[in-house]
Structure 1
C-alpha cells in the first residue's frame, strides 16, 4: 500500500481531541477523503498509549499504513508548572510506543504533532525549524517540551537506521471546536472563552491571569486539519515543518480578551491578576518554510475563527470539555 495508488489506512491517535476532531471534520464533512483511503480516529477510551501492550493491540486491530500521531498528555500553563515530571514521563512513553510499534508493523509514514513550546526560551526571533535544539525550553513546561523534542530526535534516528520517513509538524497555538475549555487546565484562548462566558452568566468581573502582555500566533483548528492531511500525503522531509500564521498576525493575550468580550457581548469589568505567571512572553515563529511549499494557503481570519469557536462552545456547552 502506498501513496502512489492512494491506498492508505490512516490511524489518527488522539482522534477525539482538538486537532483530531478537526481532521475528522475535514475528511468527513469537507470531502477531503480520497478514494482508497480509510481513516480511523482513535480516542483515549479505546487504548491507553502509555501502555505498550495496549498500543500494540490497537495497531494490530487497525493495521495502519500511515499514522497521524496527535495523542499526548497536555494541560494548561499552571498544570504544566505543577506536574513537569508527569508530562515528561507520560509523553516519552506515548511517543516511543507509537513510533516503535509503527516501525515494527511496517507503517510507511508517521506524522507527529509537536508544539511551539519546544523551542529554546533564550533565542532570536522569528524561530525557525533549525533552532529546536539550540537551548533549554521555557522552564514552565520543560517536561512536556523535552518529551516532544525527542520525537524529532527519534524520527532522525529511524531514518538513519531504517530509512523511515517519519516526520513532525510544529503548529503554533491552536484553538477551535472540541478544544479543552477547562479554565485551569485548558488552552489559553478557549479557557478565556469559558471564563468570560461564566462571568457574563454570573454578572461578575472577568479576571485574567497574568498581565495580558504575552503574544501568540493563534491558528484555527480546521486550518491545521487541512495542513496535517497535506503533510501526510505530500510532505516527505524528515525534518519538521512549522505550521503557523505569519509573524504579523501575532496578537497579545489582552487583544484576545477584548475580542472575546466583544463577541460574547461581555460588558463587565476586566481585571488582570499580575500575581499570576505570564509564562513565555513571546515565541514568534517563522512560516517561511510552509510558504515555500504552500504559498497560496489561506488561513481563517482570526476574528472569524474566534467567533466560530465561541458559537460552538455556547451551542455545545453540555458536551464541551470544561
Structure 2
C-alpha cells in the first residue's frame, strides 16, 4: 500500500474499524475512506456495488459486522446470520468484481470450536462443534473466511483473513446488559467507586482464563498483515498471554482505585474455562503486541471516564 492508496475501512466507526483508521492515519496513509450506516447500507447489494463503482477503493479492510453479547446472539440468531452473511458477501464479491488489490477480512476467535485444544491453532477451525449461544454469528464469519480462501484459490484474488482474540480499548461497548467482561468490569468498578459502594459483584467463580488484546495493537497487526502477508490460511492475532477473571477484576479494581471488596457470584455461569490463541504464526511473520494489559486497562479507563456520558 502506498501512502496515497485509496483504502476503504468498512465499519470505520466501531471499536475495531476506528482503531484501524487511527493506525493507518498515524502511519501517513492519507486516503482512508469510510461510510456510516446511514450513508451506505452494507446489507444492500446494490448500494455496495454502486459505492465500489464510484469510489474504486484499491484496498479494503472488512471490519464491519453485526456483533453482540450472549443475550443478543441467543435472542436474534436469524438477524446475526443474515446480516453478517450479506455484509461480507456483498463486500467480498464487489472487491473481486471491481478488482481491489487486496482485502483483509476479520473473523473472531469465538468462532473456533467450543472444545478446541489450547492454545488454539489456526488449523483447529471447523474441527468440532461450535458454542451454541454463538452459532449463528460463527457460521456467518466462518463463511467469510472460506469465501476469501476460495476467491483466492479460484480467481487469484489477494484476499486474506485474520482472527483477533478478545479486544478492548477506546470506543468499546460499556453497556452492562450486552458488553464483554473487561468493559463491564471497568464500568462496574467506576460506578461503585462514585457511589461509595462497599463491594462489586462479578459473575462466576473468577477461575476462567482469558486473553485480552488492546484494539490499537490489533489494528497495528492488521496493517502489518496488509503489508506483509498474502497466504490462504487466516492468521490468529493475540498476545499469547492469559489472565484469570479473578486477576482481571483485581487489576481493574486497582486501576479504578476502588477500595471495596470483590464478591464472586458462583451461581452465575463461568463460560468456557480457557480460550487462548496460538500466535506462533503471527510471531513468525515478525509482529508482536506492544501494550501490556495494565497499561491498556489504564488507557481504556481514562477514555471511559472522558466519554462516560455516552453510556450513562
TM-score interval, smaller chain = over 0.9
How much has 1:7 moved relative to structure 2? 5.2
- Residue deviations 1:65-88 (CA, integer Å, cap 9, x gap): 110000011112332233333222
Identify the residue that residue 31 of structure 2 maps to in structure 1: 38
Evaluate the alpha carbon distance shift between residue 251 and residue 52 of structure 1 in structure 2; reply closer, same or farther with a 3 A threshold: same
Aligned to 2:262, which of 253, 270, 274? 270
Matches within 5 A, 1:189-208: 189-204=182-197, 205-208=199-202
How much has 1:189 moved relative to structure 2? 0.8
- Cα distance in 1 for partners of 2:270, 2:71 equals 10
Assess if the C-alpha contact under 8 Å between 2:238 and 2:289 holds in 1.
no
Stretch deviating more after TM superposition (192-201 or 282-291): 192-201
How much has 1:293 moved relative to structure 2? 0.7
Assess if the C-alpha contact under 8 Å between 1:76 and 1:188 holds in 2.
no
Identify the residue that residue 7 of structure 2 maps to in structure 1: 10
Matches within 5 A, 1:165-244: 165-204=158-197, 205-244=199-238
- Cα distance in 1 for partners of 2:62, 2:95 equals 10
How much has 1:27 moved relative to structure 2? 2.6
How much has 1:144 moved relative to structure 2? 0.9
Stretch deviating more after TM superposition (188-197 or 66-75): 188-197
- Cα distance in 1 for partners of 2:261, 2:78 equals 38
Evaluate the alpha carbon distance shift between residue 240 and residue 103 of structure 1 in structure 2; reply closer, same or farther with a 3 A threshold: same
Identify the residue that residue 145 of structure 1 maps to in structure 2: 138
- Residue deviations 1:205-257 (CA, integer Å, cap 9, x gap): 322222222211101111111111111122111210011102xx201122111
User: Normalising by the residue count of structure 1, what TM-score does the alignment of the two structures yield?
Assistant: 0.91
Where 2:60 maps in the other structure, the secondary structure is: strand
How much has 1:22 moved relative to structure 2? 1.3
Identify the residue that residue 304 of structure 2 maps to in structure 1: 313
- Cα distance in 1 for partners of 2:273, 2:223 equals 31
Q: Segments of 4+ in structure 1 off by > 4 A?
A: none
Assess if the C-alpha contact under 8 Å between 1:245 and 1:299 holds in 2.
no
Identify the residue that residue 247 of structure 2 maps to in structure 1: 255
Identify the residue that residue 24 of structure 1 maps to in structure 2: 21
Where 2:230 maps in the other structure, the secondary structure is: coil
Evaluate the alpha carbon distance shift between residue 80 and residue 240 of structure 1 in structure 2; reply closer, same or farther with a 3 A threshold: same
- Cα distance in 1 for partners of 2:260, 2:51 equals 49
Stretch deviating more after TM superposition (271-280 or 306-315): 271-280
Matched positions, count: 311
Assess if the C-alpha contact under 8 Å between 1:114 and 1:171 holds in 2.
yes
How much has 1:178 moved relative to structure 2? 1.0
Residue ranges of structure 1 left out of the alignment (5+ in a row): none
In angstroms, what is the RMSD of aligned CA positions?
1.8
Where 1:167 maps in the other structure, the secondary structure is: strand
- Cα distance in 2 for partners of 1:309, 1:61 equals 37
Assess if the C-alpha contact under 8 Å between 1:140 and 1:279 holds in 2.
no
- Cα distance in 1 for partners of 2:191, 2:54 equals 42
Where 2:247 maps in the other structure, the secondary structure is: helix
Assess if the C-alpha contact under 8 Å between 2:118 and 2:274 holds in 1.
no
Identify the residue that residue 156 of structure 1 maps to in structure 2: 149
Matches within 5 A, 1:121-132: 121-132=114-125
- Cα distance in 2 for partners of 1:62, 1:206 equals 50
How much has 1:6 moved relative to structure 2? 5.8
- Residue deviations 1:74-124 (CA, integer Å, cap 9, x gap): 112332233333222211111111111211211121101110011111222
Evaluate the alpha carbon distance shift between residue 298 and residue 244 of structure 1 in structure 2; reply closer, same or farther with a 3 A threshold: closer
